[in-house]
């Protein structure tokens, strides 16, 4: 136990995503439009699955664990819509032709974070199981999916708090932590993964300061990470991505903690573009590099990171106005080889990257 030179205020952080019932009893997804941060905290409410898909593709709603819940929630909205006018009808083949097609469109809204497909598939399986019960109606399936999403929201927060506790045990008093992108409360239902480690460590008085890479091109570090750390009262310094090397060389970073979008069976980890470079710099400077992620981010079907699909995004994210004759390459993620990772922090404890598949055994 140490002493922080600051007071931690977790109560100032909003919940990122939440399925609620509107006044008319209709299921609605409430989420923060993260494109507006850090200057506006705007919450959207929608009953339409396609609005959620749009929010996912435009990064209004992002971050792997939040995407897992969003995937299931969008399926729940579709089930609610299918039950709205014919709630007492059974779920026949016509019903599932439509529902499964929508579930696939939701699951494939973004390719890299495996949590999105995991969430949508979890909802799809729950729908099929409930519909197969004798006498089950469309309304029953809608209710089952609503309850599933509420359960997933609670599970996500619980997992993040467990990740936080496991990660805090790796940090010494007075730790200066560098992070890349936003793997904070805003990337989850609440609390965060990499920043969950920071918050749990701060609660134990172990944190001196967090350095946030701005994370070009979309600026999740500059807009989201610094916003939420400032809300929580954690001393924060924003740096441009190309400053991490100098900072580490000056001995100002004790640990790097980042999130993950997909972890292959050998521990290779996809995360926001630029993470690989940070890992190499950490290795060169003798700074431990940790990945913090729930087990829903592990993809045991991929032997190594070379098979992780990497999302390519629009050139406008890099270059607002096209320049004639100039092409833009804009991959949203890169893969950090397992050899650079000191440990993967999950809700089930800290694993050596090569043994990460064991985390799925319970």
Q: Return the active site residues.
A: 261
- Name the residue nearer to ligand MRU (CB basis): 79 or 263: 263
Best CA proximity match to 359, nearest among 171, 105, 159: 159
Residues 14-33 that bind ligand MRU (CB under 6 A): none
Between CA 72 and CA 126 the distance in angstroms is 10
Q: How is residue 216 annotated by DSSP?
A: T
Count of residues near ligand MRU by CB under 6 A: 18
Residue nearest to ligand MRU (CB): 259
Interface segment toward ligand MRU; rule CB under 6 A; list 21-29, 95-103, 185-193, 336-344:
185-193
Strand 236-239 and strand 207-213: the pairing is parallel
Rule CB under 6 A: choose which of 148, 183, 200, 212 binds ligand MRU.
183
Tokens of 209: 């300061």
Question: What is the pairing mode between strands 17-21 and 27-32?
Answer: antiparallel
Exactly one of 122, 209, 262, 272 binds ligand MRU (CB under 6 A); that residue is 272
Please tell me the distance from the alpha carbon of residue 341 to that of residue 220, in angstroms, as a whole number. 22
CA-based angle 126:131:135, to the nearest 5?
145
Pattern 194-233, binding to ligand MRU, x per CB under 6 A?
Answer: --------------------------x-------------
Q: Does 64 bind ligand MRU (CB under 6 A)?
A: yes
Per-residue contact string for residues 328-347; x = within reach of ligand MRU by CB under 6 A: ----x---------------
* DSSP of 134-174: TT-BHHHHHHHHHHHHHHHHHHHHHHHHHHHHHHHTTPPTT
DSSP string, 313-327: --GGGT-SS--TT--
Residue 267 in contact with residue 330, Cβ under 8 Å? no
In the complex with ligand MRU, which residue's Cβ is closer, 130 or 313?
Answer: 313
**d(C-alpha 115, C-alpha 112), whole Å:** 9
Task: Pick the closer one to ligand MRU by CB: 18 or 259.
Answer: 259
CB nearer ligand MRU, residue 144 or residue 225: 225
- CB closer to ligand MRU, 62 vs 176: 62
Residue 181 touching ligand MRU (CB under 6 A): yes
- Is residue 37 involved in binding ligand MRU (CB under 6 A)? no
CA distance 350 to 342: 10
CB of 245 to ligand MRU, least distance (A): 20
Question: Residue 205 CB, nearest distance to ligand MRU (Å)?
Answer: 24
Nearest approach in angstroms of CB 322 to ligand MRU is 22
Per CB under 6 A, does 261 bind ligand MRU? yes
Task: Please identify, among the stretches 61-69, 79-87, 141-149, 170-178, the one whose residues bind ligand MRU according to the rule CB under 6 A.
Answer: 61-69
Q: Is 305 in the site for ligand MRU (CB under 6 A)?
A: no
Site for ligand MRU in 91-110 (CB under 6 A): none
When the beta carbons of 138 and 217 are compared against ligand MRU, the nearer one is 217
Q: Closest by alpha carbon to 215, among 282, 277, 305?
A: 277
- Does residue 183 sit in helix, strand or coil? coil
At closest approach, how far in Å is the CB of 323 from ligand MRU?
Answer: 25
Least Å distance, CB 103 to ligand MRU, is: 20
Helix, strand counts (H, E) of the chain: 9, 14
C-alpha 199/C-alpha 10 separation (Å) is 8
Is residue 68 within 8 Å of residue 189, measured between CB atoms?
no
138 class by beta-carbon count within 10 Å (0-12 exposed, 13-18 middle, 19+ buried): buried
Chain residues that interact with ligand MRU, rule: CB under 6 A: 59, 62-65, 113, 181, 183, 187-188, 193, 220, 259-261, 271-272, 332
């Amino acid at each position: 136990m140490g002493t922080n030179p600051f007071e931690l205020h977790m109560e100032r952080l909003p919940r990122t995503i939440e399925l609620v019932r509107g006044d008319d009893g209709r299921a609605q997804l409430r989420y923060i439009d993260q494109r507006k941060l850090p200057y506006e905290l705007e919450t959207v409410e929608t009953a339409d699955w396609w609005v959620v898909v749009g929010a996912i593709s435009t990064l209004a709603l992002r971050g792997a664990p939040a995407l897992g819940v969003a995937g299931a929630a969008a399926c729940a909205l579709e089930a609610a819509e299918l039950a709205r006018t014919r709630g007492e009808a059974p779920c026949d083949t016509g019903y599932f032709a439509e529902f499964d097609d929508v579930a696939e469109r939701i699951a494939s809204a973004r390719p890299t974070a495996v949590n999105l497909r995991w969430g949508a598939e979890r909802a799809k399986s729950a729908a099929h199981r409930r519909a197969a019960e004798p006498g089950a109606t469309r309304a029953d399936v809608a209710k089952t999916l609503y309850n599933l999403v509420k359960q997933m929201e609670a599970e996500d927060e619980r997992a993040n708090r467990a990740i936080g506790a496991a990660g805090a045990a790796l940090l010494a008093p007075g730790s200066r932590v560098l992070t890349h992108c936003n793997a904070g409360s805003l990337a989850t239902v609440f609390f965060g993964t990499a920043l969950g480690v920071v918050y749990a460590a701060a609660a134990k008085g172990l944190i001196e300061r967090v350095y946030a890479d701005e994370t070009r091109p979309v600026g999740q570090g500059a807009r989201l990470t610094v916003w939420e750390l400032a809300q929580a009262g954690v001393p924060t310094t924003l740096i441009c991505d190309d400053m991490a090397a100098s900072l580490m060389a000056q001995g100002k970073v004790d640990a790097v903690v980042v999130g993950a979008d997909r972890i292959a069976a050998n521990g290779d980890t996809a995360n926001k573009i630029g993470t690989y470079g940070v890992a190499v710099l950490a290795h060169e400077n003798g700074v431990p590099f940790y990945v913090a992620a729930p087990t829903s981010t592990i993809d045991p079907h991929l032997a190594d990171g070379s098979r992780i699909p990497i999302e390519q995004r629009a050139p406008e994210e890099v270059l607002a106005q096209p320049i004639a004759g100039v092409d833009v390459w804009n991959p949203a993620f890169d893969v950090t080889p397992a050899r650079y990772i000191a440990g993967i922090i999950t809700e089930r404890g800290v694993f050596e990257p090569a043994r990460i598949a064991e985390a799925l055994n319970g």
